[in-house]
Amino acid sequence: MTDQTTTHSGRSLTAIVLAAGKGTRMRSDLPKVLHAVAGRSMLGHVLAAARGAGANRIAVVVEPGQEAVAREIDALAPGAGIHPQAERLGTAHAVLAARAALEAGDDDVVIAFGDTPLITAATLARLRAPLAQGCAVAVLAFETPNPKGYGRVLVQGGRVAAIREEKDADEAERAVTLCNAGLMALAGRHALDLLARIGNANAAGEYYLPDAVGLAVADGLGVAVVDVAEEEAQGVNDRVQLGIAEAALQRRLRRAAQVAGATLVAPETVFLSHDTRLGRDVVVEPHVVFGPGVTVGDGCVVHAFSHLEGATLAAGVSVGPYARLRPGAVLETGARVGNFVEIKNARLEAGAKANHLTYLGDAVVGAGANVGAGTITCNYDGVNKHRTIIGAGAFIGSNTALVAPVSVGAGAIVGAGSVIATDVAADALAVARARQRSIPDWAPGRRAALEAEKAARARKP
């Protein structure tokens, strides 16, 4: 829900996203900013928020050599600049790695962090708003009873004076509870000058971006403080914080789904992705997982313990309990998918049913067709995938194997237990199983023989 477009006053905006850093405490082969929350990388969330805040130019500062990060940027924000920061010398130094973007001369610059995925487009838009009023710098800040580790926003005579990093703060400054969230907006016409004058004479020997505040104040330029909830500004440095961010994002997504008219029977057990779309009067029962790319139409019911990803459900569809919809599952109006049914890259047209114990892969099931319990599309020959086409109104008997490529015509009936390897014409009956043989009065004799054998064994020592 971070992608909402926000109005701005026709001013151009560069967003600089700081994403350098190995993220050592993640203990991972994956670069930190590529770890996912709610089905999208942290970097992806921040890029979406930047777009949503109106950024016409995006520059990402990256750790040199992290090819996977560059690929993610190209995929999610094509055209964004990628700027390696050769040495990690501080946040102001990192911003200057994107000097080319600053030199492009946009009106506003916002600086976000790639490991702060809860930040919303709306907050970035609020952060830049004071620039349109003539401020040179806007800092995002929150009040917290536990400010340890954060830079403190120092206020004198009701005005912001500076930001002091924890390491450099004296005792009185450490008692300040107004904290710098780290994200900042700079007026484009002052940005390069302020950044170039930031030095590194501090406890960490780093170029601190928040020093832009003190410099702007000394120049008599306007500095604004924009408030934010601490949760939204939370950074992720390890897997514990990743879990905390996930939980916070899930709460936000569930709430948005509820507000939009979906019933989540047990909200805390439903897991959504950043792009999950639930229509009006959708009911989601407990313990349902939505992976990325799911759209659920009005009035659908998703029963308990179902797992959906890359699936599109039209209105009035029923799924589960215990259903698995994989990418490319398309269920048209009123289709029904029951328990222990897996659907992959397959379309069920209006009113089609697959209610029990079935696998449909690379298939089309025509309108109103009924797929019996235990039906399997044998779509894979070990090398290639093949398609199965079932016509409208066809009836597939239970425990049928459909050996693709194969088609069953409209209105045809397939007898239970069939292995269908050649096409079935419309309205035909196809039965492909051994013919049944019944022998009258055969069973009692067989039972008597078995019991006699057992008695003989018992008499032997």
Judge whether 372 and 391 are in contact, CB under 8 Å.
Answer: no
Amino acid at 138: A
List phi, psi (to 5°) of 427.
Answer: 65, 5
Q: Considering the rule CB under 6 A, would residue 182 count as an interface residue with ligand UD1? A: yes
Q: Considering beta carbons, is residue 151 or 391 the nearer one to ligand UD1?
A: 151
Alpha helices (H) in 342-412, listed in sequence order: none
- Please count the other Cβ atoms lying within 10 Å of the Cβ belonging to residue 199: 10
Judged by CB under 5 A, which of 81, 84, 222, 235 binds Mg ion?
A: 235
CA–CA–CA angle 399, 404, 405 (5° rounding) = 145
| Cβ 361 vs Cβ 377: under 8 Å | yes
Q: Residue 210 binds what, of ligand UD1, Mg ion, none (CB under 5 to 8 Å, by partner type)?
A: ligand UD1
Instruction: Work out the angle between the directed axes of helices 211-218 and 188-196 (0-180°, nearest 10).
Output: 110
Report the C-alpha dihedral over residues 399, 404, 409, 412, rounded to 10 degrees.
-20
Beta strands in 94-177, from DSSP E residues, in sequence order: 108-113, 137-143, 152-156, 159-164
* Partner from ligand UD1, Mg ion, none contacting 208, C-beta within 5 to 8 A by type: ligand UD1
**405 upstream amide cis, omega within 30 of 0:** yes
User: In the window 26-85, what residues touch ligand UD1 (CB under 6 A)?
Assistant: 61, 85
Instruction: Kindly tell me which residue out of 181, 191, 194, 369 binds ligand UD1, with binding defined by CB under 6 A.
Output: 181
The gap between the terminal CA atoms of the chain, to the nearest Å, is: 78
Instruction: Give residues 354-413 in contact with ligand UD1 (rule: CB under 6 A).
Output: none
**Binding residues among 213-272 for ligand UD1 as defined by CB under 6 A:** 235
Q: Does the footprint of ligand UD1 cover residue 93 (CB under 6 A)? A: yes
Among residues 39, 113, 354, 359, the one that binds ligand UD1 under rule CB under 6 A: 113
151 binds ligand UD1 (CB under 6 A): yes
Q: Give the DSSP letter of residue 399.
A: S
CB 114 within 8 A of CB 42: yes
Q: Which of 15, 16, 60, 94 binds ligand UD1 (CB under 6 A)?
A: 94
Q: Is 303 a catalytic residue?
A: no
Q: How far is the CB of 31 from Mg ion (least distance, A)?
A: 16
- CB-closest chain residue to ligand UD1: 151
Which residue stretch of 173-181, 238-246, 362-370, 425-433 sits at the interface with ligand UD1 (rule: CB under 6 A)? 173-181
Work out how close the CB of 232 gets to Mg ion at its nearest, in angstroms, rounded to a whole number.
14
Pairing of strands 178-187, 108-113: antiparallel
DSSP letters spanning 189-203: HHHHHHHHT----ST
Partner from Mg ion, ligand UD1, none contacting 89, C-beta within 5 to 8 A by type: ligand UD1
Q: Which residue is catalytic, options 8, 307, 356, 386?
A: 356
Region near ligand UD1 per CB under 6 A, out of 39-47, 65-73, 208-216, 396-404: 208-216
Is 18 a binder of ligand UD1 (CB under 6 A)? yes
| DSSP collapsed to 3 states, 373-390 | CCCEEECECCCCECCEEE
The C-alpha atoms of residue 162 and residue 168 are separated, in whole angstroms, by 12
- Interface with ligand UD1 by CB under 6 A: which range of 69-77, 205-213, 413-421, 452-460? 205-213
Choose the binding region for ligand UD1 from 18-26, 46-54, 100-108, 311-319 (rule: CB under 6 A): 18-26
120 binds, among Mg ion, ligand UD1, none (CB under 5 to 8 A by kind): none
Binding ligand UD1 (rule: CB under 6 A), the pick from 14, 66, 91, 312 is 91
Our finding on whether 88 is near ligand UD1 (CB under 6 A) is: yes
The verdict on 84 binding Mg ion (CB under 5 A) reads: no
Which residues make Cβ contacts (< 8 Å) with residue 281, sequence separation at least 6? 261, 262, 263, 298, 299
We find the least distance from the C-beta atom of residue 326 to ligand UD1, in angstroms, to be 35
Scan residues 362-401 and list those touching Mg ion (CB under 5 A).
none
Torsion angle of alpha carbons 221, 222, 227, 228, nearest 10°? -50
Q: Indicate the residue among 235 and 292 with the shorter CB distance to ligand UD1.
A: 235
Please give the Cα distance from 27 to 148 (Å, whole number). Answer: 24
The distance of closest approach from Cβ of residue 380 to ligand UD1 in the complex, given in angstroms and rounded to an integer, is 43
Q: How far is the CB of 235 from Mg ion (least distance, A)?
A: 4
Neighbours of 200 (CB within 10 A): 14
Given 2, 13, 16, 21, the residue binding ligand UD1 (CB under 6 A): 21
Peptide bond into 321 cis (omega under 30): yes
Q: For binding to ligand UD1 (CB under 6 A), which residues are involved?
A: 18, 20-21, 61, 85, 88-91, 93-94, 113-115, 150-151, 163, 165, 179-182, 208-210, 235
Q: For binding to Mg ion (CB under 5 A), which residues are involved?
A: 235
Catalytic residues: 356
